Amino acid sequence: MKIVRVNMTNLSVKTEEVPQKWANLGGRALTSAIVAQEVDPVCHPLGKKNKLVFAPGILSGTAAPNSGRMSVGAKSPLTGGIKESNSGGSAAQKLARLGIKALIIEGLPEQGKYYSLHLSKDEAKLQEETDLVGKGNYEVIDTLSRRHGKNIGVITIGQAGEYKMLAANISIKDYHGYIRSAGRGGLGAVMASKGLKYITLDDTGTPPVPIAEPEKFRQAAKTFAQALKEHPVTGQGLPTYGTNVLVNIINEAGGLPTQNFRRGRFAGANKISGETMYEYITTRKGKPTHNCHAGCVISCSQVYNDESGNFVTAGFEYETIWGFGAVCCVDDLDIIAQADRICDDIGIDTIETAVAIATAMEGGVLPFGDGQKMLAILEEIKKGTYLGRIIGCGASVTGKVFGVSRVAVVKDQAIPAYDPRAVKGQGVTYATTPMGADHTAGYAVTSNILNVGGHVGPLAKEGNIELSKNLQIATAGIDSAGLCVFVAFSMLDKPEAMDAVNQLLEAISGKEFTYDHMLGLGRFVLKTEIDFNRAAGLTEVSDRLPEFFEEEIPPHNTTWDFTPDELQQVFADLKEEVKSPPAEVWMAPEDEPRTRPTVELH
């Protein structure tokens, strides 16, 4: 496997051997290691010193179930800290099959110019792009699918990225042509700053990803798939209702942030729930169950049509539905689906954008509950009007511009769909993850609400520091393996699932891999990220929730009551320890040079 390095200043593409210390790594571990090593932590995120790194997971491109996640890393223009955002779609698998362990985009091109990068077995080609500049993601993907065939992999930015909005995401074509997103932290603005409109990935004719012990790998994959199918969450809940199964569950738990985090229950919850969505989808001949990458056995995605049966959106997630729904007090699922479609098309994070709109509602820009005006604002983002620019820069900037102090962010990143006062393990994750408020970084909803991996009460502090910490470490490992975070449901409840993942990692590398290695990998990732953030100027003060969470939230009337000292316990040991190179934790075998894109200079 190789590293492909694209320098946008001199428009060169080079391939490099993978240094030994990174040989084991993939996904988040690799993007964070590269960013930490190569990016000046105090640089301007949109300047020449930042780098954008794409890395398929360690297991990506193989037959391991749900291993199709690609990590994208950089210094975040939103949080000012390190960012890893991962996504499904076909890009991880294609990158891995092209033998690309990491793709590093660096430098800055001549201002205003855009380029495309085409990667195939035989070439790595950087070309100036003009036709698709200014176009939305759907048009980009449709055009490129026509140009290169339906199987082409696409990584692209929409208009939000081109405007360098802080909420701009990076969009990934899934293998049906729908859109998945590396959503958080404004990485689309970084890609735009590099002058890269899109990347096409053609894996035609590539050899399979090398596996040291193929038979062991095959057995483990089978066991793992079985365990995923047998778990009620990954085998029934998610396939049927998608992640939106959570609206009714979290609303019932009193943790569904409503009207800019004033209440934990939304009167319109049932109208936007997974159950209602399933009914709409089935009535309108959509698809309730759909997977974003080959080999996914959960299939939490879906195809959502309008009343006339026309396609509106896919990958219609709980977070999006909560965001444009409960937090903005909009209870019309079709309006929310429109919002999701627009966000996918312009390439902007739905969580950040929804909370920014709720912040604008707080500031009197539009009334809570006004779904039509909400859609109009999304169109303004697409056009890059002044209001669109404000909202497109996320909740923190929106709060500043409109003089609002009730702004739900941590490290300037919007807080997602679980109120930290009513789902306290989630709150600990929001406060302490180096990513800024991020639900996936340590998804304590598992034990707090779903009773997966045991039960830790969601309303009191007890046990939630430890819960979040353990989940954050495990998640950093899972994100590095390239596994979808939802595999954790099964791994937490079923020892055979946990064993199977370790077996998969052992079989691909031919080196011992145990649960301890997984934890070592997770700790390495977090240590790397925390150190970067500290060097970037983020302190313990950044590890806090906004002041207004001191207010009680109905119905449980709990408050956010963790002290800063308690929160600092989460990673106290990590912060103090000397970083052990992951090579000492888990050495991967040297692999043979495979695909070697030619060097091209333009």
| Cα–Cα dist 394/163, whole Å | 13
Using the rule CB under 8 A, is 212 a contact of a second copy? Answer: no
Using the rule CB under 8 A, is 44 a contact of a second copy? Answer: yes
Considering the complex, state which of residue 535 and residue 587 has its C-beta at the smaller distance from a second copy: 535
Cα 133 to the center of its chain, rounded Å: 24
Could you identify the residue written with the tokens 């370790």? 502
- Residues contacting 484, CB < 8 A, separation 6+: 66, 67, 68, 69, 88, 296, 298
Burial of 395 (0-12, 13-18, 19+ CB in 10 A): buried
Using the rule CB under 8 A, is 283 a contact of a second copy? Answer: no
Considering the complex, state which of residue 396 and residue 490 has its C-beta at the smaller distance from a second copy: 396
Residue 141 amino acid letter: I
Using the rule CB under 8 A, is 403 a contact of a second copy? Answer: yes
What end-to-end distance do the CA atoms of the chain give, in Å?
Answer: 25
HSE value, Cβ hemisphere, 13 Å, CA-based, for 546: 22
Using the rule CB under 8 A, is 308 a contact of a second copy? Answer: no
Smallest separation, CB 189 to a second copy (Å): 7
Smallest separation, CB 437 to a second copy (Å): 16
Smallest separation, CB 180 to a second copy (Å): 24
| Cα–Cα dist 361/368, whole Å | 6
Considering the complex, state which of residue 16 and residue 547 has its C-beta at the smaller distance from a second copy: 547
- Residues contacting 109, CB < 8 A, separation 6+: 8, 9, 11, 115, 194, 195
Using alpha carbons, select from 50, 195, 196 the residue that is nearest to residue 111: 195
Which one of 87-95, 185-193, 267-275, 431-439 is the stretch in contact with a second copy (CB under 8 A)? 185-193
Tokens of 498: 């946990």
Smallest separation, CB 382 to a second copy (Å): 15
Which one of 217-225, 461-469, 540-548, 585-593 is the stretch in contact with a second copy (CB under 8 A)? 540-548
- Site string (496-535) toward a second copy, x via CB under 8 A: ---------------------------------------x
Smallest separation, CB 86 to a second copy (Å): 24
Considering the complex, state which of residue 285 and residue 386 has its C-beta at the smaller distance from a second copy: 386
Using alpha carbons, select from 387, 427, 399, 254 the residue that is nearest to residue 326: 254
Using the rule CB under 8 A, is 389 a contact of a second copy? Answer: yes
Member of 385, 466, 510, 600 binding a second copy (CB under 8 A):
385
Member of 546, 553, 567, 582 binding a second copy (CB under 8 A):
546
Beta carbons of 409 and 395 less than 8 angstroms apart: yes
Using the rule CB under 8 A, is 368 a contact of a second copy? Answer: no
- Residues contacting 88, CB < 8 A, separation 6+: 68, 69, 172, 174, 180, 292, 293, 296, 484
Q: Which of residues 160-179 bind a second copy (CB under 8 A)?
A: 163-166
DSSP state of 235: I
Member of 130, 147, 285, 541 binding a second copy (CB under 8 A):
541
Q: Which residues bind a second copy (CB under 8 A)?
A: 41-47, 49, 77, 163-166, 189, 192-193, 385-387, 389-390, 393, 397, 400-403, 405, 535-542, 544, 546-548
